[in-house]
Amino acid sequence: MRTLQKTLEIDAPPREVWRVLTNPELVREWAAAYEDGLSIRTSWREGEAVVWRSPDGSTRASGAVAAFQPERLLKFDYTHALVADGCAFSESFEITAANSNTVLSMTSGPLNEAAFNALMERAEEALREIKSLAEESAQIRRGR
């Protein structure tokens, strides 16, 4: 079993990165890296359900919100995920302020080798999109 870990620096404050991670419309944009039209359904409360749905309505992943600490930590514990062949795993997004920027760390695991390989490239693409969305939003807000 392996753990996927990715970190990147974003030229935006933590509140913008958090907004990109938790606004359903923005989530749909970066989640397209995993599947076009993927959507999230959750109350964003710890212990409550989280379900990722494909455009055809089928469940791609489901579990619970394990941590919801605004502008700091978002974590999901999945009990079902197509990519992981039904194996349970966690996915977390940790936000750390770094001067005027933000460091975003994503961790997914434990994953079997096939799931790790399937997620690695898609996770990198999703993080690049999160970075782009947050930086664009921060730039617009700075221009006001």
Segments making up each domain of the chain, as ranges: 2-142
> H or E element: which one contains 114?
helix 113-142
What is the per-residue pLDDT across 81-129, written as a single tens digit (0 to 9) for each?
Answer: 877 676 789 999 999 999 889 999 999 999 999 889 989 999 999 999 9
User: What is the pLDDT at residue 144?
Assistant: 60
What is the per-residue pLDDT across 23-76, written as a single tens digit (0 to 9) for each?
Answer: 999 999 999 999 999 999 999 999 999 999 999 999 999 999 999 999 999 999
Its pTM stands at: 0.93
Domain range 2-142, CATH class: alpha beta
- Measured between alpha carbons, how far is 122 from 95 in angstroms, rounded to an integer? 20
